[in-house]
Structure formats: C-alpha cells, structure tokens
Amino acid sequence: MFEPWGILVILIACPLLGGLPLIGWITYALTHKQLSQVGTGNISVSAAFYHGGRFVGILAVLSEAFKGVAAVLLTRVFFPEGSPWELIALIALVIGRYWVGRGAGTTNVVWGFVVHDPLVAIFVSFFAIISFTILQSRRVVKFGVLLLFPLFVALLHISDIPRIIAAVALAGLMGWIYTKIPDDLNLPAQEAQTESQAMLEFLRGDRVMVSLDEELDAAIVGEKAATLSQIKRWGYPVPKGWVLAPIDDPQLLTEFLQPSELSPLVVRSSAIGEDSEQASAAGQYETVLNVTSPQALQSAIAQVQASYNQPSAVQYRRDRGLNDTAMAVLIQQQVQSIYSGVAFSRDPITQQGDAIIIEALPGSATQVVSGKVTPEQYRAFVLETENSSSVQLEGQGRVPQALIKQVAYLAYRLEKRYHGTPQDIEWSYDGQTLWVLQSRPITTLLPIWTRKIAAEVIPGVIHPLTWSINRPLTCGVWGELFTLVLSNSFSSRGFANGNRKAERALGLDFTQTATLHYSRAYFNASLLGDIFLRMGLPSESLEFLTRGAKFSKPSWESTWENLPGLGKLLKRELNLEKDFKRDYQKRFIPGLSQLAQENIDNLEPSKLLIRIDFILELLRQGTYYSILAPLSAALRQAIFRVKDGQIDNSVTPEVAALRSLSAIATDAKQILLEFEPQQVFEQLKQTLEGEKILQEFDELLQDYGYLSEVGTDISVPTWRENPQMIKQMFVQLMQGNEPQSGAKDAINSIFAGKRKRSFIQRRVDIKGRVTEVYSRILAELRWSFVALEKIWLKSGLLKKTGDIFFLDFDEVRRLVVGEDFRLIEQLDELVELRRSQFVQDSEIIQVPLLVYGNTPPHPLAPSALYSDQILQGIGASQGQAEGRVKVLRNLQNVPEIDRDTILVVPYTDSGWAPLLLRAGGLIAEVGGRLSHGAIVAREYGIPAVMDVRGATWLLQDGQRVRIDGSRGIVELSNDLRPN
C-alpha cells in the first residue's frame, strides 16, 4: 500500500507546492509591489528581477529551486531514486505553478532535474550556454532544450520506457505553457529596476536578432513585419529578413548582416499600426533600397526611423485618430526583380465582384507603388472547386500571362488565409521564385457586409420602422450570446490578472452586427469573423450553423481558452426546451391572450404606445429564442448527421397551415364535384356542407392569420388582412394540384411513435413553436402600428396608407408624445424622401451578396463566373425536375403555376410557401437547407436548389431548366419561349 499512498501524496502535494506564490510574497514583502498587478501579471522569476531588482530576483530563484528539489526528494520517500515518478512529480508541480501560481515553472524543473538526473542536466546546460552565446536567441535555446532533454533521457536510459514517456510529457507541457503566457523579459529593459537592466538586456539577446522566421507580435514589431513572418511560416516565399523593435540597438545587427554590392539589403518601415485594418499608411514612411555597406545600413535605419516623425506622417495619424506609437524597422535581402507589381484580391474601385486586379511591370515593385510609371493592368478570376482550380485572365502586356495567373492565385489564397479580408499584395519575381514583399488589408473595403444568413432572417426590402425595431433586438441578443462566451476564458493574460476576464470581448461593438444597404439587411462579416476567431471557432461558423457550409477545423488553443464561456452557452442550449416551456406558459401565452382580448380600434395613441411597449418586451424574449432555437436545431442535426429528409417540420406554422388547407380543399372537392374556379366560395355558400367548409376556412385564417409573406417584416400585411392569396391556393388545391406526399408518408412511417423522443426532432419542434410565438408577437405589433396609423391618417398627420412604416420607432414615440414640433413640421418631407429611396432600392433587381465598406456603390450585375450551362447552389430538397422558369420577385401578382413551372424567387419566407405546393421545383437566390422554402419543398417532395446567386437576373421567364435538388445543380437551356 506504500506506493499508492505515494502516488496520492505526489498528485496532491506537488500541485499545492507549485501553486504557492512564494515569489509574489517575497516581492511584496520587500518592495510592496503586487506582481499580479504590474507588467504581464505573471508571478515569475523574471518578473521578480524586473520589478523587484537583483536581490528580490535571487530570492525568487532560491524559492523556486527549493520547490523543484522538494518535489523530487518527496518522491524518493515513496519510490526509488531516479524513478519516473520524480518526473511526474515535476509535472504536477508545473501544473500547480501554471494554474494557481501564475508562472511557467522553468526554475522548478531546472533544479528538480539537477537532483533527478545530474548527468542529463549537465549535458543540457552545456548546450544551452553554448547555443545562447552563439545565437543570442532565447527562444531557440528555450525550445531547443525542450527537445534535447527528453532525447538525452532516451539515450542514457533507453530501456526505461516510463521514464522516457514522462520526460516527453514534461517537455510537451512546458512547451505548451510557453505559448500561453507572456514573458516579462519581453518588456522594455529600460523600465526595469536599475540593477537588473544589464542582466535583462543580456537575456533578451533574441530581441537584437529577431528574424521573420519567428512568430512576431504586431504590437512590438508592427503589422508589416508580423504579417510577413506569418506568411513565411505558412510556407509562402518571403525574402529573408530581420526586425529591429523600437527599443533595440541596431549595432549588433548591422555588424552581423554585412551588406555588399553582391548582397544588397532593403530597409523598410514597420510602424506600429501601419498596414493594419484601421490604416494602411501607404507611402507615409521611408523605404531605402540597395543598401550595400554597414555604414549605409546604419544610415538607412536612422532614415526610416526618422520618417515616423515627418510632418506628413504625423498629420496622417492625426487625421485618422491614430495614437503615436513607435517605428520598428524591417531589413530584408533585396530581390533582384525581373517583374514586379501589386495585386488587389478585390477591386478597390468598383468594390464589387470577384475580380482580382493586378498591376505589373518589368523591374522592381517600387516603380508600381511610386505612381511615377503607368503599369500594365490585368483582371483575373479564380475558379476553384474541390478537385481543381483555374484562372481566367483579362488583359495583355509584356509580363508573361503564366506569371500573372500565378500572382492571381497567390492573391486569392492569401485572402482566404485572412478569412476573406481583401488584401493589397506587393510581389516580385526574380526569374525563379514569386516573392511576397507585403500583404495588408485594403482598408477602404472594410468592413465586409454579407447578405448570407441576413437574407433569410430579414429578407426583402425593409422599411425604416421594421429595421428600427429588428436591428437593436437582433444585435442585442447576438451581443449577449457572444459576450457570454468571450467574458469567461482561460486566456493567458486574463488568467494572469483576474480583473481582465472580459478582455477578449473588449473592442467589439455588437451594435454594428447588422446594417442596411440598398434597404436590405446585411450582417457584418468582419465583426462576426473576429468574434468567432476570439471564441476559438472558424470565422465561417455562423454560416455553418445556419446554412450547412463547409466547416474548417477550429483552433483548439483558443477553444480551450474560451471553454468556460462555451460551457455556459452549452448550458443554455441544453436548458433551451425547459426555459422556453417556462416562458411559454408564464409570459407568452398570458401576454398573447391579453393582446387578443384588447380592442385596439378603440385605443388612443398613448394607450397604443403602451401596448406597443408591452409587445416589445415580449418580442425581446422571443428574439432570444428565435435565434437560439434554430442554431440549436442546426447544430444538433450537423453533429449527428441527420439528413434533412428525416426531419418532420409539421410543427412549423407554414407547414401546418398548408396541411390544414390541403385537408379542407380535399373535403371541398367531395362537395363540389364540378365548380367554376372564380365562383368556388359563392358555390360553397349554397349548401350546408359548403357552409361548414367555409367555416373551417375562416377558422384556418383565424389560426394562421398572423403569417405573412415576410414573417420578420411588420410592414407586410398578414394573411388575416390580405386573404386573397390563400383563397387562390385553396382553389388551386381543389383543381387537383395536390402535394406529392410520397416522401412525406415514408418519413412519417419511419418516425411513427419515435419522433417526440428524438433528440434532434424535439429541437426542431421547439424551433417550430418558437416561430409560431415570434410570428404571433410580430403580427400583434404590426396591427398596433396599423391602428395608430389609422388615427393619424384621420387627423391628417399622415397622408398615405403605409406612411407609418417609413418612420423609425423613436420618431413614432415622439409623435405620440406630441412635443417635437420640428419633426411634425418636416414629417411629410421626411416620409416622402424615405418612400422615394425605398422605391428606388426596390427597383434594384440584383443586390450584391457581399458589400465592401460602408459606402457601397450602385450594384452591378452579378460578376460570379458560371459555366455556360450550369448554375451552382445548395441542394436543399432531393429529386430532379425539368420545366419552364417563372421568375417571381414578389407576391403582388401571383401567376398560374403548375407542375411544369420551376419557380425562381429572391428568397423564401412563410408567405411563399403556398406557391411551392403547385410548382414543379424551386430555385432561390438566397437561403440554405433550413430555410422556409427548403423545409416546405422537402415536406411536399419538390426538388429545390437554394443560394443560386443572381438567379432572378440570369434566368428568364419561359426558359427551360433542369434542377437537381440533391447536387444543388441548375442546368440551363437556350430554349426560350413565352409562357
């Protein structure tokens, strides 16, 4: 029993020993400084030297050495000398040191290992001293030691496998910790305690010889150098280079590099904040070419550093509200260029489309960026599939087209590397290698706004009143969910300082999550990508959850850091059903009942405003569920790989409404064996059985009258207000155009008796119930505003029906109060101006999928390249169909539709659903597998292809097409004839 007790003692005592903040106590006792509140927040030996001085540092070394030696000696009480358990004790000590003591544990391990295996310690120490003396690279030595000491252990104890494994585990743990916590040795030595400065400057030797081969921090060496180091580590050719941080002495570097006529250097600026997403600072700082001697190198470095304070550079920073920071200097081997130029991964002029713009000339890249020579210009399009890629090129000149295509593909790949952020790339070709000289964001194209997802959540052209209500609710809920994750993290800096827990959410403005362009909703892809990366998730995570897009591998390190927050989010997801049922019974049902019993026609404006505020309170909670429920259902379906066809969406209101409508139409056909389509309702009135059918139809309108063409837009009339379309559907069903229910019946037979117990199906059912509640609340909100508008139309405050929807909610509130006389005076002009803009935006047939920047130009036709006969989208409902296109951009004039009709629509919402059961197939410009149209199409066995860019613009009425709802393919035909 002796060894088990030993294991227990080691696993409990060693982490506690490591967690003792002896360094912090010593420093505070002698200097009254809290190490957790200064510098990096680490309680380490280097922090003790830096903030406490030499004496405090020596005591810190002794205290940590004591811990390492004590852990090994404690192990020998229970196990033989040299046992692998001594290394396990050091591992436990280091874990406690990191998690509780806020340090890396390097000193603990060094002295513990001296006691554990003196021979290996001597070999490793000899290597470390020699390497640091020659290379002056603390980073190389630090990680080199972690590779060597397990190797020496393996060589000297080749038969002791447990010992080797323990050594490898200890090295791996130390290496991981080194990547997670900052080092006080990276702080400016000049700010350290005076007696420690010389030692710290020596130990910081790697700062004098920082190269682009290392992982660099933009906050220290500037974005240009940090970006090039990242690109180089990704495997792209970047000329060899070295970096001088603002505080570094250039003397050793100039002596080491020794430039010459045969090996010239280029000295470039890498100012803190230069080449960032906030400012490019293009042309503001100096670049010195053809540096061929140490003296010239020193002079060039001084020249570049001095350019930071040139009047034009100072004014540039001042104009953009940038803080004055410092200038790092980048020194690189100069490329002997045959061809050079720049490439923009997106067109910065048109701000639209997928064209890559390339400017090139024989010679160096300086000619192109200087603006003194007119370069050759090219436009390129990269077409990439899972199996192949190709480049289509526009433009000719002296530069070889094969090289231009290579540059285009380089720009395309770098943009993807930077999560879709458009890149401005400087390149050079020396006859053998295409070199990357620079890559920076095209600041004029930021932020990036996307219609993906937004086109489903808030489709169509949006009125100001709708947006003034939807935007703060939607942004607020997203902000709440994101902050929940980001404010609870294991981040190294947050761990080092307890009052920094919310640090990962700093700088995020969740009110900027969405905006309107062309009166359409767009989500901020730049902001969402940043948020997801901070959460440790790929930047395309939201699209994966809502649209089934390909999901790249997340960063496990960042995910680990956010584990507490992700755990809280998971808890909300797991409690979703319980929470919704509680609110459904206690808030939504009582609230909706109260609203239904109130006669809004008799309410005065002040009472209607109280009613609207009450509805908005319900809507805030409903918005939370309307976002979380679909994401929860989509996530579960994706994780468990359940096919769309195996999901029963009968709880979804529009599906349930169509089923009921179909059943009533079937009964009506039994009564009216012969009927005139235009006289159906009059004929039904003539018999008792027909009166019963009409009563059932009216009850359906009462039950589902809250639905509308666009469920999230309160400016759109509900079915109860405009039942004409439902009546047309009813007649169409009576005429024999019944849904194809074979697929539905097969699914129902599979899930019979099991659906309600299904882990995923229950989430889908909750999603359907949430949709019903949310739609009912929005309908009550609309009817309240309509009632208010009727009062204002009667009083003459408003002139036309629908005017109220061209006001925002704050303006409505001020008009009800009646104290804003200026608003009242300008009301007619304001409404007319907004109505005119709305009509103008409504006439834009094809809005871009992505908008770059905050001032987008008038949209152009889609620039995506398709093959001559194929359009690619997302397969949303299985099956194939062939027929003639009917482009339908709104529901104002519903055409005759039959099984030979392939319906082409801009989006699908609940109001479009009745059309689908008459059509042979569906093509939608936006939407995914979980959109309303996709759900209804699967319900009735109709093939559907979603997310076909520019479909309503590219396809024409009468054109024959063939769609494949499994592969997401639309095959075109040149056969055109009027319908």
Predicted pLDDT at 575: 93
What are the beta bridge partners of residue 270? 328
Predicted pLDDT at 910: 58
Predicted pLDDT at 681: 93
Pick the closest to residue 537 from 510, 565, 515, 577 (CA basis). 565
Q: What's the number of CA atoms in the CB half-sphere (13 Å) around residue 228?
A: 30
- CA dihedral for 183, 185, 190, 195, sign (positive or negative): positive
Predicted pLDDT at 544: 60
What six digits make up the tokens of 340? 């050079």
pLDDT along the chain (979 residues), means of 10: 77 90 89 82 83 88 92 91 91 88 84 88 77 62 80 87 91 86 67 62 57 87 93 95 87 84 93 67 80 94 92 78 84 93 83 84 64 75 80 90 96 89 92 94 85 79 95 89 73 37 65 92 87 74 59 62 78 93 96 95 95 96 91 81 77 87 92 88 92 94 89 89 87 69 39 51 90 95 97 95 96 92 93 94 84 79 52 82 88 76 82 73 78 70 84 88 87 63
Tell me how crowded residue 828 is: count the other CB atoms within 10 A of its CB: 13
Q: What is the pTM of this model?
A: 0.66
Predicted pLDDT at 866: 43
Residue matched to tokens 């003196």? 118
- The string over 759-794, giving b where at least 16 C-beta atoms fall within 10 Å of a residue's C-beta and e elsewhere, is ebbbbbbbbbbbbbbbbbbbbbbbbbbbbbbebbee
Pick the closest to residue 462 from 803, 780, 713 (CA basis). 713
Q: At 377, is the secondary structure helix, strand, or coil?
A: strand
Pick the closest to residue 708 from 468, 872, 966, 466 (CA basis). 466
Asked if residues 41 and 497 have their Cβ atoms less than 8 Å apart, the reply is yes
Identify how many contiguous H helices and E strands the chain contains and give both numbers: 37, 23
CA dist 719 and 555 (Å) reads 47
Cis bond upstream, residue 188 (ω within 30): no
